[in-house]
Amino acid sequence: MARVVVLGAGFAGLWAAIGAARKRDEIGAGHDIEIRVIDRNPYHNIRVRNYEVDLSEVAIPLAQLLDPIGVSHGLGEVESVDPVRRQITLVTSGGKETLAYDRLVLALGSEVMRPDIPGLADHAFDVDTYAAALRLEDHLTSLGRNALSPGRSTVVVVGAGFTGIEVAAELPDRLARAGIIGSRRIILVDPNPAVGATIGAQAHPVIATALSSLEIETRLGLRVVSVDPAGIRLSSGEFIPTQTVIWCAGMRASPLAADFPGVRDRLGRLLVDPVMRVADVAGVFAAGDVASSVVDGLHPTVMSCQFARPMGRFAGHNVVADLVGQPLLRLRIDWYVTVLDLGSWGALYTEGWDREVRTTGAAAKVTKQTINRKRIYPPLTGSKDDLFAAAVPTVQAPPPTYGVRQR
């Protein structure tokens, strides 16, 4: 029996597994091809919702999604991959194990970058994983129960990119839920001269208006020098008393990408062709944040579920097609949008690689909630047919917009 192994059960890994099972079912190879998913967690995390107030629906048991389609799944930390021997070394509860594969889909995603800043590793929170998001939630809840003290009601978010802005914009509601109101301060720190430096010039005034409405302060053009239990020091010399520092300053592909030969981009991502094959590595496909593919003839993918999900579906289909000698499908995506959550103020919807602002405020918030709560979820019915229908290797149309579009 041939074995397909999918490493990672995030957006790309989950859809690669379902896509592979769908293709296996289509060709009637259920008894000839084993599909196995390995992840450090027994759940699929709707990672892009880890910043939200309510985390009750952001972790879905893998058994609910993979058992109905005959895909096995195991817990383990991937220590290394040997693409020559086609072997994976795992650290599991029973010790080290070696898992052989005939075809591999690498979908180990990305992780937040933590530079060597004194105190950062020990004293900063993040929302990179579900476990980290729960840790932050528990911390904020505990603050609300504590007596008033220096820094209790101040939160500093470092990194004013997509994640940092969404974290900061949601904090007024999160702090209110924890019982911290009135004197609270939220401060957004970034080394760039503008908030959302990569989101586009058209977006800057919209984001500034939203942050002002939410009473979020900014410290721009500054870096973090150190973090300790009492607060954070910036390169300007300012010391901000706080018990809560949330680190959102940049992402990098899984370090396991370094186990494979070939060129990687500045984010450590493996370069893959339009069928999701890793260049010059036999039997290996990659998808999601660990991979970079030019999907419209010009632009490489960015780290987002917008690209991870279709990359996963195509990788899953193609890895089985490759195994049985059938033609592979090329992924092409001709549209790109961003929808930035701005908390109770609303949201910001942009279209195109130049990020033209199309809708803002409450109208854009409806689109954001449609994406976060419906569009990116796998079917939860437990039905094989529903799961396979969602894994068809096609590209969805852009998400809907509501209200008056900007011109």
With both helix axes pointing from N to C terminus, report the angle between 11-26 and 305-323 in degrees, rounded to the nearest 10: 30
Q: Which of 38, 47, 101 is nearest to 323 (CA)?
A: 101
Q: Which of 68, 105, 70 is nearest to 384 (CA)?
A: 68
Residue 90, pLDDT above cutoff 90 = yes
- Averaged pLDDT for residues 353-380: 96
Q: What pLDDT score does 400 carry?
A: 84
Q: What pLDDT score does 136 carry?
A: 98
Q: What pLDDT score does 150 carry?
A: 80
Provide the Cα torsion 119, 52, 387, 104; round to 10°: -10
Residue 404, pLDDT above cutoff 60 = no
Q: What pLDDT score does 345 carry?
A: 98
The model's confidence at residue 350, banded by pLDDT at 50, 70 and 90, is very high
- Averaged pLDDT for residues 85-91: 97
Residue 402, pLDDT above cutoff 90 = no
With both helix axes pointing from N to C terminus, report the angle between 203-213 and 162-177 in degrees, rounded to the nearest 10: 20
Using the structure block, give the residue that is written with the tokens 């978010």: 157
Residue 355, pLDDT above cutoff 70 = yes
Q: What pLDDT score does 326 carry?
A: 97
- Averaged pLDDT for residues 293-299: 95
Averaged pLDDT of the chain: 95
Cβ(27)–Cβ(326) below 8 Å = yes
Q: What pLDDT score does 185 carry?
A: 95
Rounded Cα distance, 160 and 107, in Å: 26
- Averaged pLDDT for residues 31-38: 97
Q: What pLDDT score does 331 carry?
A: 98
Locate all alpha helices (DSSP H) within 287-359, ordered by sequence: 305-323
pTM over 0.85: yes
Q: What pLDDT score does 145 carry?
A: 85
Identify the weakest region by mean pLDDT among 40-49, 193-202, 232-241, 330-339: 193-202
Rounded Cα distance, 3 and 323, in Å: 9
Cβ(45)–Cβ(52) below 8 Å = no
* pLDDT tens column, 105-120: 999 999 999 999 999 9
Q: What pLDDT score does 149 carry?
A: 78
Q: What pLDDT score does 247 carry?
A: 98
Residue 194, token pair as written in the block: 């503008």
Q: List, as own/partner pairs, every contact residues 161-164 make where C-beta atoms lie below 8 angstroms and the sequence separation is at least 24, other chains included.
A: 161/190, 161/196, 161/197, 161/198, 161/199, 161/248, 161/249, 161/250, 162/196, 162/198, 162/199, 162/338, 162/340, 163/51, 163/127, 163/248, 164/188, 164/190, 164/246, 164/248, 164/249
- Averaged pLDDT for residues 38-61: 97
Q: Which residue has the higher pLDDT, 178 or 21?
A: 21
The model's confidence at residue 284, banded by pLDDT at 50, 70 and 90, is very high
Locate all alpha helices (DSSP H) within 112-161, ordered by sequence: 120-123, 130-145
Q: What pLDDT score does 405 carry?
A: 58
Residue 147, pLDDT above cutoff 80 = no
Cβ(346)–Cβ(45) below 8 Å = no
Residue 403, pLDDT above cutoff 90 = no
- Averaged pLDDT for residues 197-213: 95
Output the 3-class SS for 77-94.
Answer: EEEEEECCCCEEEEEECC
pLDDT-above-90 percentage for the chain: 91
* pLDDT tens column, 157-194: 999 999 999 999 999 999 999 988 778 999 999 999 99
